[in-house]
Structure 1
Amino acid sequence: MSESEALLKLKSSFTNAKALDSWMPSTAPCRGGEEEWSGVVCSEGIVTGLYINSLGLSGKIDVDALTELTGLRTFSVANNSFSGKTPEFSRLGGLRAIYLDKNQFSGEIPPGYFDEMGALRKLWFSNNKFRGRLPPSLFKLPHLTELHLESNQFNGTIPSFDQPTLVRLNLSSNKLEGEIPASLLRFNASSFSGNAGLCGKNLGVECRNAKASAANKNIHPPPPPHPAAENVDDSKKVIAAGVALSVMLVSIAIVVIIRIRRKRKAFKVLEKESVQAVEVRVSVPNKSRDVDVSRKASSSRRGSSHHGKNSGVGELVLVNGQKGVFGLPDLMKAAAEVLGNGGLGSSYKAMMADGVTVVVKRMKESSAMARDAFDTEVRRLGRLRHSNVLAPLAYHYRADEKLLVYEYIPGGSLLYLLHGDRGPSHDELTWPARLKIVQGIARGIGYLHTELAHLDLPHGNLKSSNIFISPENEPLISEFGFYTMINSANLAQALFAYKAPEAIQSGKVTPKCDVYCLGIIILEILTGKFPSQYLTNGNGGIDVVEWVASAFSEGRVTDLLDPEIASSTNSPGEMEQLLEIGRACTQSDPEQRLEMREAVRRIVEIQQSDGNMDARTSQNILPTLDHGCAENQESGKSHESVLDNFDNRISGR
């Protein structure tokens, strides 16, 4: 059965399917990589997602038809009128997201329903009429990131669930009871409210069983000691007390020594305070300060490099072996110089004895995230593989200090190339070079929005100082995925995405804040102006968004272009197209702002119209189709990473 036939068979199982009139036998659901049928998402001519939400659909969901869509990764029928038992989605082992919320599904979910759905990441069964116990197989899914079961009639206890990938959980408004498992204590009370029988620290409700047990001990005290015990020699008691006191004093001394050594191990540098000075004057200072790293490390090279989660708190944990194996002693013996101090902390350049040069970022505003959770997040970032993404190599964790290690890119940042030393590197920023850089940034940020779609801010700190340029003018995006690692009170000061208008007004962030940041970079590259949006004090730079909007209204668009590229032949039309995209990305109303996928598509079309697409770009028209991620390579399903980029967009999450 072809995909067209399968979808038409599925449509025939629905009632009131007038909204799917575009699903016609004479047409194809996917054509040339684009979606032709409403609610259908395609990748490389394969149907990967169905988003048929809020269409008044009812009837039966023909799972037999869905099994013919071998590339299907997302299925969403949210806010319709489907009812009855849960469809046999367990037959669709490749699904990564299911959205059945706001329907009338009912009945119990079989205990082993999710046994064959190991790829599932997002599950929304909220606002239905499901009942019975939570299926144990649900809590064994290895990659689950979002679980919404609120507003149903589930009862019984919550199974123990130790899944570090889970970032969103909502079990509220059910009939659950018992103690909340310790593995779920990281979620707040709203995830469990509306369950009268639940207890635990999250809800501030003491569990009765524990209280009753304590009361029972008071009612039935332990039996008195045997009379012989009272005959213990007093001298032995004195000796035992002396030994205990000695052990306690030695322990205190060890703790004090460790703390003193940790303080001595801290980087001793004078951090720069002016953001403008650091970000604009990026050239290496004449009197660079070396980081004091001439110290002994407590961990061995082998232990700090290979032990991973089991390694000690003071070790360096490798999460990406692309630059070889190195440990904390190697890093600490390297002479380093200060590169600057940004919103997330200080950065240092360090060359190790084997010649490998790295950048060490010291996160000063890191959250109190537990080590296991921090390890999970950084390892997820370290697994990312894309030609325009700079993934971390290693990390060092302490409760009061966290270091992230990256590969050093000698070409410098995009901000420095645009606004720093007007030397040969700046002269190479011709229009074709700038267009290539914009296209690479779009490809990279699209990939991040795919692989980090579970975050409200897949990047969060996208700006020209966090984009590094290779000698071939390939951009490398850095400092992404930090949204969950920073204290919530410091997010607005640390992440540039909070400069988006809606974030300034309400503090609320969405993936469209990253779209706004992409727009700022586009306007910065085209105009050559330093955006005042990068500064915290408002002194210096130009408000590029306001300036561009004013120029468009006054009909002087060509005045916006950097004079160094405005004279390029056969290019003004392409520059104006990119200006339009930058303007659309920086709309103050996020609803009027472009979606990330649409922005990428339009940028690539400009590249195509010029005929300058390189071989790699021509093979990967959209960044969401670039599957360098190790996870996708292991699964062998090259179109899987399309899912997370679009499910939030189309299903309105």
Structure 2
Amino acid sequence: MAVSMEFLRPTMLFSTFFFFIIIISPKAYSMTEAEALLNLKNSFTNATSLDKWVANSAPCTDHWEGVFCNSGAVTGLRLEEMGLSGKIDIDALLQIKGLRTVSFMGNSFSGSIPEFNRIGVLKAIYLSRNQFSGEISTDYFKKMGSLKKLWLSDNKFTGQIPPSLAQVPRLVELHLENNQFSGNIPKVYNASLQQFNVSNNKLEGEIPDSLSKFDEKSFAGNSGLCGDKLQKSCSKPSEQPTSVDTHHDQGPISNDVDGSNSKSSKSDPGKIAAIVVASALLISLVIFFIVRSRQKKKEDLDSLARDSNEEAAVEVQVATPAKREEVSMRKTSRNSSRRGSSNGKGGGNFGELLMLNEEKGVFGLSDLMKAAAEVLGNGGLGSSYKAVLANGVAVVVKRMREMNALGKDGFDAEMRKIGKLRHRNILTPLAYHYRRDEKLMIFEYVPKGSLLFLLHGDRGPSHAELDWPARLKIIQGIANGMRYLHTELASSDLPHGNLKSSNILLGPDYEPLLVDYGLSNMINSANLTQALFASKAPEAAHSGKVSPKCDVYCLGVVILEMLTGKFPSQYLNNGKGGTDVVQWVASAISERRETELLDPGIASSKNSLSQMRKLLHIGAACTASDPEQRLDTTEAVKRIEEVRTEGGQE
């Protein structure tokens, strides 16, 4: 029996332990990511911007606002400028095991800093532009070894900068500006630190040598700081020797032979030294402000020059004989390259580059300037370049010149709207850069390239892979992407505006990705016809009137292009070249000879000829010259889905 009890005792203990885990704290083991996020939402006040966060839906597949995912798991939260306040439920965030980035910038949270240090795996924390206050404990960051980016700027934090920050091994960006931190700056010995700003606080003492690589703007607005970086000496007045008589309990002051006060006479050298030191400091301050004034004047002149007709663009240099151009993305405006970074959104204003999508990391304009790039081509909206960043991420930089219909605030609002779009068939921009005369939009580079290239420019293995199942999948993906845009950007007359095969990229397994959408409100009206293909729909070409039906016309042209394999003449501004696929297909349908039009690459799929004929008719219905007789987006998608279902290719 004793042996039996010894055997049962650990079993009973394990059972009891397991019971307490399941019964007492079920949330720690059973809460889903959706439940955790709903708990987080409930901790906020004024969370109307998160109305899409509802039960019985999935954060990743249903594209919850501000939620970023990777492989179906939540990895980031970007809840910026939503008017949120209340509490940030850290217990809820702890249930999201893959969470690595959190951003609550531009809200109304207050009180002490939340206990993000309990989430030791966080890589980025963005809390700028809130009302957080109070001191941060000295060991707050002690266990945050994964932290790379910390943005606490524009709050009301007080007390010393936590010394534990100096021990974070991987810190790359640290922004503490515009707070009320006091005391000395910790000695940060971190070679990886690329961005540092503690300006406009109440800091004092000497700037550590380890931070000497950062310019004076990073430390400005702290009257107590000193060092070579601020051209302000940190030297202290040398201590004066004490009187020969060191007794402090002596009686009445004795007089010298001449009757003068001995202590008074002995203190004169100290007073003189103090006056000399004070004068030297005053002169140093005067020199500093003169130099600073001149620097400020020079920066103002540089800024004025930049905002005039001076280009700060991309320098193109032909560097190889292989008909490719190497582009050095160097800024010609010295002022722009010197600008600091503050008050950004979505990871910050890194040298005036605003992040919209951090799934490929956060980078700045300076990173693009350093990257050698390859010219990809020119389009109606500008030029495109491929650039490989230092971290290995390949991006496409689009330079847009004819997008001045809106001022900066309006442009920023439109870009934020586009940046919130998430769909498997939509390529969301990673970042953008605003200048008066030129805009940059940065996208993830998609290696397989555009549908235009695979259909018409490459007759190699990739073209051979565009068999009928692949083309049908692409057509349905394009239609699904269009339906999503027409839902999310329903207020726009042209939710896409520029759908054509060159603006359809092909991801892995030939999943289509739409680009160059949602830009119609930003393009100068005089350039709309040249820049946007949707403006060439018959009704727009004749009367200038655009509507969502113009997008349907573009969808129809793409369908006919994929079925016939012909380059549409509609894509050409001069109408010379290519094939008028709209008229060609309309004539063939009226004569019942649809199969004669099919691309030989797919015509051999005899069992699918019925599907191809039906899609030809759908393409023709989308390109009807009378927009009233044209299909709308919803009906077009419905019919395409029916064709694919008919072939058993769901």
Indicate the TM-score class for this superposition, using the shorter chain for normalisation.
0.5 to 0.7
Structure 1 residue 569, shift from structure 2 partner: 2.9
Q: Partner of 2:328 in structure 1?
A: 292
2:299 to 250, 254, 271: 254
Q: Partner of 1:268 in structure 2?
A: 315
Q: Partner of 1:329 in structure 2?
A: 366
The 3-state SS of whatever aligns with 1:570 is helix
Contact 1:459–1:482 under 8 Å retained in 2? yes
Structure 1 residue 387, shift from structure 2 partner: 0.4
- Write the distance in 1 (CA, Å) between the matches of 2:630 and 2:356: 36
Q: Partner of 2:432 in structure 1?
A: 395
- Write the distance in 1 (CA, Å) between the matches of 2:420 and 2:50: 21
Cα RMSD after superposing both structures: 3.3
Residue 320 (structure 1) aligned with residue 357 (structure 2): yes
Q: Partner of 1:145 in structure 2?
A: none
Letter in 1 for 2:390: A
Residue 343 (structure 1) aligned with residue 386 (structure 2): no
Residue 526 (structure 1) aligned with residue 571 (structure 2): no
Structure 1 residue 555, shift from structure 2 partner: 2.2
Letter in 2 for 1:377: E
- Write the distance in 1 (CA, Å) between the matches of 2:587 and 2:434: 48
1:303 to 336, 341, 344: 341
Q: Partner of 2:581 in structure 1?
A: 544
Contact 1:300–1:327 under 8 Å retained in 2? no
Structure 1 residue 268, shift from structure 2 partner: 2.1
Contact 2:586–2:620 under 8 Å retained in 1? yes
Structure 1 residue 558, shift from structure 2 partner: 0.9
Q: Residue deviations 1:272-291, cap 9 Å, x none?
A: xxxxxxxxxxxx99221122
The 3-state SS of whatever aligns with 2:418 is helix
Q: Partner of 2:489 in structure 1?
A: 452
Q: Residue deviations 1:339-358, cap 9 Å, x none?
A: 11100111110000111000
Residue 377 (structure 1) aligned with residue 398 (structure 2): no
1:500 to 523, 528, 537: 537
Contact 2:406–2:522 under 8 Å retained in 1? yes
- Write the distance in 1 (CA, Å) between the matches of 2:442 and 2:349: 17
The 3-state SS of whatever aligns with 1:429 is coil
- Write the distance in 2 (CA, Å) between the matches of 1:427 and 1:555: 28
Contact 2:315–2:330 under 8 Å retained in 1? no
Q: Partner of 1:561 in structure 2?
A: 598
- Write the distance in 2 (CA, Å) between the matches of 1:402 and 1:509: 24
Q: Residue deviations 1:374-403, cap 9 Å, x none?
A: 111111111111000001110101111110
Q: Partner of 2:453 in structure 1?
A: 416
- Write the distance in 1 (CA, Å) between the matches of 2:544 and 2:389: 42
Structure 1 residue 257, shift from structure 2 partner: 3.0
Q: Partner of 2:504 in structure 1?
A: 467
- Write the distance in 1 (CA, Å) between the matches of 2:301 and 2:530: 34
- Write the distance in 2 (CA, Å) between the matches of 1:489 and 1:264: 22
Bigger shift: 322-331 or 312-321?
A: 312-321
Q: Partner of 2:639 in structure 1?
A: 602
Within-5 A mapping of 1:77-92:
none
Structure 1 residue 492, shift from structure 2 partner: 1.1
Q: Partner of 1:476 in structure 2?
A: 513
The 3-state SS of whatever aligns with 1:417 is helix
- Write the distance in 1 (CA, Å) between the matches of 2:335 and 2:512: 35
TM-score normalised by structure 2 residue count: 0.52
Gaps of 5+ in 1: 1-91, 97-140, 143-244, 272-283, 614-653
Contact 1:366–1:487 under 8 Å retained in 2? yes
Counting matched residue pairs gives: 365
Q: Residue deviations 1:542-577, cap 9 Å, x none?
A: 100011111112221111111111110310000000
- Write the distance in 1 (CA, Å) between the matches of 2:49 and 2:449: 45
Within-5 A mapping of 1:579-598:
579-598=616-635
Letter in 1 for 2:378: N
The 3-state SS of whatever aligns with 2:386 is strand
Q: Residue deviations 1:82-124, cap 9 Å, x none?
A: xxxxxxxxxx99999xxxxxxxxxxxxxxxxxxxxxxxxxxxx
The 3-state SS of whatever aligns with 1:592 is coil
1:405 to 427, 439, 442: 442
The 3-state SS of whatever aligns with 1:403 is strand
Contact 1:585–1:599 under 8 Å retained in 2? yes
C-alpha distance 319-502 of structure 1, shift in aligned 2 (>3 A): same
- Write the distance in 1 (CA, Å) between the matches of 2:642 and 2:399: 39
Contact 1:300–1:329 under 8 Å retained in 2? no
- Write the distance in 2 (CA, Å) between the matches of 1:604 and 1:299: 50
Q: Partner of 2:400 in structure 1?
A: 363
Residue 516 (structure 1) aligned with residue 553 (structure 2): yes
- Write the distance in 2 (CA, Å) between the matches of 1:505 and 1:360: 34
Q: Residue deviations 1:426-455, cap 9 Å, x none?
A: 000000000000000000010000000010
The 3-state SS of whatever aligns with 2:508 is coil
- Write the distance in 1 (CA, Å) between the matches of 2:339 and 2:297: 28
Contact 2:346–2:355 under 8 Å retained in 1? no
TM-score normalised by structure 1 residue count: 0.52
Gaps of 5+ in 2: 1-47, 53-81, 84-289
The 3-state SS of whatever aligns with 2:316 is coil
The higher radius of gyration belongs to 2
- Write the distance in 2 (CA, Å) between the matches of 1:403 and 1:270: 20
Q: Residue deviations 1:386-424, cap 9 Å, x none?
A: 000001110101111110000110001000000002000
Contact 1:344–1:365 under 8 Å retained in 2? yes
